[in-house]
């Protein structure tokens, strides 16, 4: 609760980092106040992770109906009601954000609506609807997240959308150009291609999903090819010309100028940290050259009692990273001996064939100077559950090191990859070996058996392949 003008623990931002930090801090006995300028749940729950996955799941379900003839399911009169899709998406968002509000109420967390800026060490100002209020605080957690990168020749507006705008299209566009081939761009491409749009992905690099291993990116490209998604690499937009019902895009590829006309252009070129309007310089908080706040293993900044988590600090801009760090910070403030010591930070791309990775890839391990690094891959084609689901595309790969075959990384491509990767993250962080995985018992039939089969293969004792 607010105690006059002095606050105990203040969290700026109510996204997956901020709201988790706030709840855990309250559970540990702190009096917590959250300052939020837009909405509880942040970008993730409102205009990012949750609504995008609702759209992606709807597209998956539609395609499942279309491609279940092998199971004897014939669907000849299937219709798509985009209005109802958005209703489902919006209800999902409301359910999640209402849940955050309910948890805040349960834990007596006070919310100050407005924009927070640091005015001096130990002081913040909250501005809301023309009014300003100054507060002092004991501890401050910065969890302000990130925003889409803007590009000068691709101003957002009209038929040029950012990723947020792409989630709210009332109709299925006949055509869509997505500028950016990272996980955000590829997930949006998958969703709208499944709905029936003619999608083009344009990237400046030599391939899409450049931060993923080549064989995993190749699976995404195969999926896109099956949906007639065009991928233009080493390409850049040169100009835009808005029409009444479309937009003409000029672009350069291989030194030649081309043009195309599409219903919408979606800019998905990554995100930048929200650290430039916080007044961090007033408190002397140190930032790096990318505008990220420098923190130690407890997410403490160089200034006593100021912490930072999530997209505003180094590391992947992932909601679950922010949530994990939020727990660490709350415990650190409570005086507990904690640190962000995890070796495995999972990441997932929700394209048609989901992709997941955790720990190190074999290449990353070797680049880091590790020796005696090996990897082995088990295909889902040999997994009984995948066969019964008619979803045999993909594999499980384990990366291990040394004579004892210590597990240091894993990648999964295929159905339920996002659910299986957590088990492998736990194995890496708890110092398990390939033999430990092989000796685990998984139910039969299950996708989890593919992990055990991959471990057997690494031991040179394969059974199902």
Mean pLDDT check: name the lowest of 17-21, 43-47, 67-71.
Answer: 67-71
Q: What's the rounded Cα separation, in Å, for the pair 43 and 144? A: 10
- What is the mean predicted confidence (pLDDT) over 69-76? 88
Phi-psi map region of 164: left, alpha, beta (phi>0 left; psi -120 to 50 alpha) = alpha
Q: Give me the pLDDT at residue 4, please.
A: 52
pTM (predicted TM-score): 0.95
pLDDT of residue 61 exceeding 90, the answer is yes
Q: Confidence class of residue 75 from pLDDT cuts 50, 70 and 90?
A: confident
Q: Give me the pLDDT at residue 341, please.
A: 84
**Is the bond into 127 cis (omega within 30 degrees of 0)?**
no
Q: Give me the pLDDT at residue 67, please.
A: 86
Please count the other Cβ atoms lying within 10 Å of the Cβ belonging to residue 174.
13
pLDDT of residue 3 exceeding 50, the answer is no
pLDDT of residue 165 exceeding 90, the answer is yes
- What is the mean predicted confidence (pLDDT) over 410-421? 97
Q: What are phi and psi of 39, to 5 degrees?
A: -160, 150
**Residue 183 catalytic?**
no
Q: Give me the pLDDT at residue 77, please.
A: 85
Q: What's the rounded Cα separation, in Å, for the pair 58 and 80? A: 10
pLDDT of residue 2 exceeding 60, the answer is no
| Per-residue tokens: 169 | 């299209």
Tens of pLDDT, residue by residue over 368-411, are 999 999 999 999 999 999 999 999 999 999 999 999 999 999 99
Q: Confidence class of residue 1 from pLDDT cuts 50, 70 and 90?
A: very low
pLDDT of residue 117 exceeding 80, the answer is yes
Tens of pLDDT, residue by residue over 332-360, are 999 999 999 888 999 999 999 999 999 99
- What is the mean predicted confidence (pLDDT) over 437-455? 97
pLDDT of residue 155 exceeding 60, the answer is yes
Tens of pLDDT, residue by residue over 25-41, are 999 999 999 999 999 99
Which of these is catalytic: 107, 258, 305, 444?
A: 444
What is the percentage of the chain residues whose pLDDT exceeds 90? 93
Q: Confidence class of residue 69 from pLDDT cuts 50, 70 and 90?
A: confident
Phi-psi map region of 202: left, alpha, beta (phi>0 left; psi -120 to 50 alpha) = beta
Q: Give me the pLDDT at residue 232, please.
A: 97
Q: Which residues contact 135 (CB under 8 A, 6 or more apart)?
A: 2, 5, 6, 7, 10, 123, 124, 125, 126
């Amino acid at each position: 609760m607010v105690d006059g003008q002095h606050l105990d623990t203040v969290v700026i931002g109510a996204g997956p980092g901020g709201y988790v930090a706030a709840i855990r801090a309250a559970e540990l006995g702190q009096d917590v106040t959250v300052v939020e300028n837009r909405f509880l749940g942040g970008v993730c729950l409102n205009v990012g992770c949750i609504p995008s996955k609702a759209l992606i799941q709807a597209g998956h379900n539609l395609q499942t109906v279309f491609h279940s003839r092998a199971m004897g399911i014939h669907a000849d009169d299937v219709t798509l009601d985009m209005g109802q899709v958005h209703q489902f998406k919006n209800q999902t968002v409301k359910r999640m954000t209402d849940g955050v509000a309910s948890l805040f109420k349960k834990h007596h967390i006070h919310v100050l609506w407005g924009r927070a800026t640091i005015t001096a060490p130990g002081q913040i100002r909250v501005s809301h609807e023309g009014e300003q209020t100054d507060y002092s605080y004991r501890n401050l957690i910065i969890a302000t997240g990130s925003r889409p990168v803007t590009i000068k020749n691709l101003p957002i507006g009209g038929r040029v959308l950012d990723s947020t705008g792409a989630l709210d299209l009332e109709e299925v566009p006949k055509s869509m150009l997505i500028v950016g081939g990272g996980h955000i761009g590829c997930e949006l491409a998958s969703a709208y291609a499944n709905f029936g749009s003619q999608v083009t992905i344009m990237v400046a690099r030599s391939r899409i999903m450049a931060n993923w291993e080549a064989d995993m990116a190749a699976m995404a490209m195969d999926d896109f090819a099956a949906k007639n998604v065009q991928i233009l690499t080493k390409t850049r937009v040169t100009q835009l010309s808005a029409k009444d019902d479309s937009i003409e895009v000029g672009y350069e590829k291989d030194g030649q100028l081309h043009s195309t006309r599409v219903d919408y252009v979606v800019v998905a070129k990554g995100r930048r940290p929200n650290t430039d309007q916080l007044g961090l310089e007033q408190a002397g908080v140190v930032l790096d050259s990318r505008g990220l706040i420098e923190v130690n293993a407890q997410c403490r900044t160089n200034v006593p009692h100021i912490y930072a988590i999530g997209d505003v600090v180094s590391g992947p801009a992932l909601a679950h990273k922010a949530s994990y760090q939020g727990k660490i910070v709350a415990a650190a403030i409570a005086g507990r001996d904690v640190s962000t010591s995890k070796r495995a930070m999972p990441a997932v791309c929700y394209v048609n064939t989901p992709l997941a990775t955790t720990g190190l890839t074999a290449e990353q391990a070797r680049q880091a100077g590790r020796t005696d690094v090996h990897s082995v891959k088990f295909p889902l084609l040999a997994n009984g559950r995948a066969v019964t689901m008619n979803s045999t595309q993909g594999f499980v790969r384990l990366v291990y090191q040394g004579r004892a075959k210590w597990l240091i990384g894993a990648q999964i491509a295929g159905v339920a990859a996002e659910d299986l990767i957590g088990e492998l993250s736990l194995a890496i962080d708890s110092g398990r070996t390939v033999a430990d995985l092989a000796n685990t018992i998984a139910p039969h039939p299950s996708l989890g058996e593919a992990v055990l089969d991959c471990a057997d293969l690494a031991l040179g004792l394969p059974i199902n392949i």
